[in-house]
Structure 1
Amino acid sequence: MATPSARAFTRRQNGGARPVDDVSSPRIAHTLTACSRCRSRKTRCDPGLPRCGPCERTNSPCEYFDQARNKKMSRNYVVYLQHRVRDLEKQLAHLEKDDLYPDPEDLVRNGARVAIHDNDESKFLGPSSGIAITRLVMQLAKQFTGSASITEVIPENTAQDVKDQFERDDKKEYPLISAIAAERLPQRDLTNSLVRLFNLKVMAMYPFLHEPTFAQDVEDVYNGSTNAFQNFAVRMVIAVSLQRMDTQYAGLADSFYLAALQYFEEAVKPMNIKTIQCFALIAAYSLLTPTRTAVYYVIGLGVRLLQALGLCEEKTLSQSEDGRELNALEIDMNRRVFWSMINMDFALAHSLGRPSCFATLQEHIDVNWYHTVDDEYITPEGVRPGAPQSLKKWIGIHFHKMRLHQLEIRRKLYQKKRSEPVNDQDQWFKDMDAKIEAWKDATPEDVETGLDKAWFVGRYNTMVVFMYRPSPQVPRPSARAAARCYDAVKFNIYMHRAQIKARNVEMTWIFTQAIFMTINTILWSLSYAEIRAAHPREEVEGHLEVALECISQATERWPGVASAIQLYRTLVDAVIKIYDNEGDFPIEAGSPAESTGIDYPRSRTASPAAPSLPPHPSSDSAPNSAQGMRSDSPADESPFSYISPQPSFSFPARHSPLSSAKPNASNTASSPASSLSATPSAYNQRLSHSSTTSNNTVTTPYTPTPSINRLQVRFLLEPDLQPQ
């Protein structure tokens, strides 16, 4: 029979330890021997942590002898082990829960780091790039093949064969790249034709050069000018135009690109508007071909310099660094360079799912639109009286408005989690639909730049898919949303095929990405029974086959996409088996943890988005919230009202000149809010060129050139580059 003192000691042994963690935490049992101090003093010891009672009262170290380690151990070690066990149990529970409920944030963002080669640094692709819907298609493929992983859907030997095919260095008749810089300029007549092509195709979307001024630069270079900017710009324009002509000229274009880079470092030294124009030229070239320059990095440098020079605000772009008022031509060029660089920045952020370098909300952009007349009528004194309106300039502004619509959609649906919209029936979707519908209705029927009505309708359809596909904000869209996405991409598939056959579209990597988007969207939409009921299996297979044909034709310009064709055929064969089943098959893109009914733990990886914290009650009601929320107050609308409906545009070949143009004023450019419904002038004749197709060599990814890398150091050495 136990004595009272023994029972008291047992109680102290079992429950007398002082709590070292939250009282709600489960107690981890432990057995402790008496500490060394109590043993030597022959006093009663208790299992208190991190020290026993006697040691606690005397503030003495509490250690015990560990026979296994044959040394003294502090009782703090026991506390450490308790915390370690609890942490491991939480991690184990997290892993077990992931088997049943994958972390939604992981699903959207965790698998979005890709590398072309095994030894490449992986590149981040965010939600708006479409990477999430690609993962959803893979989930469907696994579900209907009974596979536990995508490696079972695509066997390892098949994936390796595709990879080897991509990496094989076949010798082709027309290489895509050149190892030697062009030593001489082309004949003058050919250069003039290439400059006209550049003005027609590139300047319609990115008018960052003044055409008469650049024509004089060409004249100076052919007369022996050694000016670095002039030599760089002329060679870059030649390279861009050759790339846009045909793939058989790709190697020649690359030789002029290498020749231009010899002048690059000297050309960008002034750190002025010409430096930004150099960045824009490199970006225009990089969109067309696998290049040695990281375009995201270059555009980031351009936007940073844009902000440092004060070209992001109307009040500062009209003054020089020394405070003098700029003339009308300089102000107009500042506006044009601003909108061109911001357009490129937003395009990359949209396509790659990355943050835009220009972080100002569209509600805060107050830079006016540039003059909507041809460059020959814009002089330092102002716009010449009677100058006709230019359709090409109007098209450029219309193109910029599209980027702003994309920006609004991306910030609302793909970035910070918001309390609304919770589904695609929300009023925001109706308002956004009206905006992009009005934008589409205002597009021209046909223009010589290739940006015709069909092209703009295709961009409209892309925005529809961007809105209604699975997103972090609305992870499971309705069947109606899936139907809209299906109809939109069906139109785009056949539009892409027609554009490729007519050779009136540049095969940029963004264009190639849009083709992949059509396939992913169709495969995802098949998870809805309503879509399968409305569109038979044979119809869907026909659409997908046309899309794969478009991808195969894109391999001339982008050989890397050839490796995806066989993989997509395997995915299509797997997902199309969904027609053998009935009902919906819910798959979600996922959203931050606080938006779901299940208490998911936080993602184990860093997220590019804002931390997943519960939204502030007033965060969605602020008119100028940090994420670009729509304001219901007219006073808080965008200063240039880019979202307002645009009047229809008539397009006769010739027209009478305007009589109200003012000759001088630095602010004669129309503001973005003004009407652009005036009739345009005639345009340059479309250039005709060979349509010969060819096979090309496989290219490899590149890192930024040393000249580009040195720019970063130069920025650090220019402390005076601050907004005025």
Structure 2
Amino acid sequence: MSSPAVRHSASPRQSLSPTATSPRTTSTTRTSLQQLLPTCQRCRRLRRKCDTQLPHCRPCQRAGVECLLFDHALKQTLPRAYVQSLLTRVEHLEAVKASGRPTAGHTTKTSTVKASTVVATPPSSSATTQASPAASVVAPDGHPHSVPSPTYDVVVPSASSAGKSRYWGASSVFALTVEILQHATARGYVTTDDMDCPGPHGQQEPGSDIDADADAHARADAKYAEADVNATAGHLGAATEADIRSLLQLYLVSSNTLYGFVDPDQVQADLEVYLAVRRQRSGQSPTASLGDLAHPYFRIAMMCAIACATRARYRPQRTAESLSYYAAAVPFVEEVTAEVSPASLQALLLLILFCLFFPRKGDVWKLLDYACRLALELGYHTEVEEGHGPQGHPDVPDVTDPALSAAPAPQAVPSSMASQAEKLRRATFWGLYAIERIVGQLFGRGSDLPESIVTVAYPSALVSAAATSPGVDRTALQEMSIAHHYRLVYLRSEIFRTMYLPAGRPVDEKTPTLGWLRQQYQTLRAWRDELALPEGDAREGVATLTCDVGYDATMCFLFQPLLLRALRGGGGGDAVDGIGADSVAVVASDPFYSSLRLIRTYEKIVRAPETSVLGSYPMTFMSAHYIYLASSTLLAHALLRLDGRICTLKRMGDGSEGDDGEELDWGMYVDASSSCLILLAWCGERWPGMLGMLGVYQKLFARTVRELIRRGILK
């Protein structure tokens, strides 16, 4: 296995954007642009004359094959149908603009967003292009014009790196943000000038932290790298053994509860090696090779770095300590990831966890790719026979560090030790699975771990009948809860594949029916009822809170396509199982109330005392995305309610099967709006990339609350 660098030049999941077409494109311009199409790859290979017909040239159409061309700007192969979808999208926008839709007391304007120029997303070159269902709009000549339904996947040119772009799929909160901003600007709630106003740290794209272009920050990071290494000796030399033990304990009860790939029984042996190395290296070069001692030293340093990052929300000085521990570990990345071994996988996972706190310190996408490939190579995705490893060898747990003694030869091991090793192997795989799935879905990107090959069991058995009985202590309940959360991630992945993949597919082909949504809701609700802990239970911990957050976030995730379609068109003839017609769109009330619960949960976590159980909850960048998602979902519902062209279904959990609408509790919306802004500001202080839209969201919350009161909706 090649050793991954902590900083990479580009992410494998980033895609480059074609040049955005001018909104003034006419039919004549379309013809002119169409004449510029290059020869398709098939005609070039066969040396045949090609034409510029769309979506296929005539030779490819007669042969019944997909017509592909190579885009030199994107450096990738695209179907010609993608070019047609771009041109059609421009015509659709021109038709909407020419139809003269009235806005709320303002002159009609094109809903453009200067902060993020949005273009359509190219479909996979391997996917067969399908004709999308047509929607009727009024063309400039006054006649109805049929255009394909657009997708909600977006590609946004990078503000920090010229010539590069970022891809956000329809499941991402950023796709929802784009629709919110377009809807709000079209109705005059905000202007494009509002989105050009710099924030406290300058205008930044939302999400620019975790999805940062490595080239844009490499020089800035290199400037401080040497200072970090030089400061390491001072920070770590001052750290007492008691402080290190306290940090390790915090890591075990927080991050390791959620992603249990560190064996607590191994920590003590690793700590002894770490302390011995630290004493021996006093005054030596911090980058000198450690040989066999590298793994335990690296593990302890990274666990301390992650624990300091967890505690930094109470003690800002812990941020500097976290970066110092990280700087001490970085020189040994190549040594600890050079082999195909469980220890290398563990090192990659520790780097990934750290990147969730400090996204710009590494390329999380490449680290996840490396970790997924290594996990598959080690066979962690499959079950094994008792007493044997995934490759047919006895599974000997690493109870003695290889730095202290030679590794034992393969031999039969006691069943208790084999059971512990198997438990750790399962926890490692599912911890990686959960991170890879959730991070990918937060950005609308595909997975590297297909469900079809996963046969490994969950790391803990769940007995639902007795799971929440008073006889189950907190430790056992947390173990069951995190295994329960892994089941939710698996269910959520099934939903993601159905609704959001493949990217670029027309939205009407992916929009679920109401019956399907009800079925998925019942499945998720049944999952929740299996391990529902009463609010305020003394056994509450990081795993049970993760289940609460995961369930409410999945509700928003499940019903987001309805919000996207309603914001885009407000109906326009689209109906869900016969509900909604002409100018009425259908949305669900469940994500509204789930968003309120998400905001309350995170507010409770942020306000919790440092010494409390909630004080150990790791607030990573995924938490920031969930806060952003909840705030955006609430805003979307408010904007649609003011628009007045929606039917809001009753909550699916109230036992009613009717399709009658209900009025949402807008008093709760007003109460939560200030909490949303406080949490978004808190995230912006921690991750400056989140500050880009804070001012815009502040104006939107204030404007929607005033309008709800003025129109008598909020009494």
Of 181, 188, 191, the match for 1:138: 181
Of 243, 252, 260, the match for 1:207: 260
Residue number in structure 2 paired with 1:512: 624
Residue number in structure 1 paired with 2:526: 438
Partner deviation per Cα, 1:216-239 (whole Å, 9 max, x = no partner): 111222234941111110100110
Distance 1:195 1:137, change over 3 A: same
Taking the aligned partners of 1:116 and 1:545, their CA distance within structure 2 comes to 29
Taking the aligned partners of 1:512 and 1:92, their CA distance within structure 2 comes to 36
SS at 2:258 equivalent:
coil
Residue number in structure 2 paired with 1:312: 381
Taking the aligned partners of 2:458 and 2:53, their CA distance within structure 1 comes to 65
CA contact (8 A) 1:345 1:356 kept: yes
Residue identity matched to 2:183? L
Distance 1:162 1:205, change over 3 A: closer
Residue number in structure 1 paired with 2:202: 163
Distance 1:543 1:392, change over 3 A: closer
Residue number in structure 1 paired with 2:352: 283
Taking the aligned partners of 2:338 and 2:225, their CA distance within structure 1 comes to 30
Aligned length: 483
Residue identity matched to 1:330? A
Residue number in structure 2 paired with 1:273: 342
Taking the aligned partners of 2:387 and 2:96, their CA distance within structure 1 comes to 56
Partner deviation per Cα, 1:22-50 (whole Å, 9 max, x = no partner): xxxxxx9xxxxxxxxxxxxxxxxxxxxxx
Of 559, 563, 584, the match for 2:688: 559
TM-score, normalization by structure 1: 0.58
Taking the aligned partners of 1:177 and 1:413, their CA distance within structure 2 comes to 47
Residue number in structure 2 paired with 1:96: 91
* Deviation of the 1:471 alpha carbon: 5.6
Question: Which has the larger displacement, 119-128 or 135-144?
Answer: 119-128
Taking the aligned partners of 2:431 and 2:546, their CA distance within structure 1 comes to 19
Residue number in structure 2 paired with 1:216: 269
Distance 1:316 1:116, change over 3 A: farther
SS at 1:370 equivalent:
coil
Taking the aligned partners of 1:131 and 1:109, their CA distance within structure 2 comes to 10
CA contact (8 A) 1:414 1:473 kept: no
* Deviation of the 1:155 alpha carbon: 5.9
* Structure 2 residue runs without a partner (length 5+): 1-30, 32-47, 59-79, 98-118, 123-149, 209-216, 218-223, 279-289, 396-412, 463-472, 580-584, 649-660
Residue number in structure 2 paired with 1:182: 232
Partner deviation per Cα, 1:502-540 (whole Å, 9 max, x = no partner): 153433111111111122112211314466983587764
* Deviation of the 1:244 alpha carbon: 0.8
Q: Map of 1:656-671 to 2, 5 A cutoff? A: none
CA contact (8 A) 1:236 1:282 kept: yes
SS at 2:202 equivalent:
helix
Higher Rg: 1
CA contact (8 A) 2:384 2:390 kept: no
Taking the aligned partners of 2:246 and 2:53, their CA distance within structure 1 comes to 77
Residue identity matched to 1:324? H
* Deviation of the 1:146 alpha carbon: 8.4
Of 473, 493, 516, the match for 1:407: 493
Distance 1:574 1:325, change over 3 A: same
* Deviation of the 1:338 alpha carbon: 1.4
Taking the aligned partners of 2:261 and 2:326, their CA distance within structure 1 comes to 19
Taking the aligned partners of 1:197 and 1:451, their CA distance within structure 2 comes to 12
CA contact (8 A) 1:468 1:482 kept: yes
Q: Map of 1:304-453 to 2, 5 A cutoff? A: 304-315=373-384, 319-320=388-389, 323-326=392-395, 327=413, 328=418, 329-361=420-452, 364-370=453-459, 390-416=476-502, 423-426=512-515, 428-441=516-529, 442-445=531-534, 446=537, 450-451=541-542
* Deviation of the 1:96 alpha carbon: 2.8
SS at 1:299 equivalent:
helix
Q: Map of 1:217-296 to 2, 5 A cutoff? A: 217-224=270-277, 226=290, 227-246=293-312, 247-296=316-365
Taking the aligned partners of 1:421 and 1:141, their CA distance within structure 2 comes to 25
Q: Map of 1:537-616 to 2, 5 A cutoff? A: 540-573=669-702, 579=708
Distance 1:473 1:413, change over 3 A: farther
Distance 1:480 1:458, change over 3 A: farther
Residue identity matched to 2:254? K
* Deviation of the 1:95 alpha carbon: 3.5
Distance 1:239 1:91, change over 3 A: closer
Residue number in structure 1 paired with 2:168: 125
Residue number in structure 1 paired with 2:21: none
TM-score, normalization by structure 2: 0.59
SS at 2:459 equivalent:
coil
CA contact (8 A) 2:684 2:691 kept: yes
- Percent same amino acid among aligned pairs? 18
Q: Map of 1:455-466 to 2, 5 A cutoff? A: 456-466=547-557
Taking the aligned partners of 1:368 and 1:160, their CA distance within structure 2 comes to 47
Taking the aligned partners of 2:303 and 2:532, their CA distance within structure 1 comes to 28
Residue identity matched to 1:430? R
CA contact (8 A) 1:114 1:123 kept: yes
SS at 2:178 equivalent:
helix
* Deviation of the 1:132 alpha carbon: 2.4
CA contact (8 A) 2:152 2:169 kept: yes
Are 1:487 and 2:540 an aligned pair?
no
Taking the aligned partners of 2:386 and 2:636, their CA distance within structure 1 comes to 46
Distance 1:217 1:443, change over 3 A: farther
Residue identity matched to 1:115? S
* Deviation of the 1:402 alpha carbon: 1.9
Of 596, 601, 605, the match for 1:499: 605
Question: Which has the larger displacement, 430-439 or 79-88?
Answer: 79-88
Partner deviation per Cα, 1:573-617 (whole Å, 9 max, x = no partner): 565676499999xxxxxxxxxxxxxxxxxxxxxxxxxxxxxxxxx
Are 1:299 and 2:364 an aligned pair?
no
Structure of higher RCO (CA pairs closer than 8 Å, 6+ residues apart): 1
CA contact (8 A) 2:171 2:560 kept: no
SS at 1:252 equivalent:
helix
Residue number in structure 2 paired with 1:21: none
Residue identity matched to 2:244? T
Residue number in structure 2 paired with 1:9: none
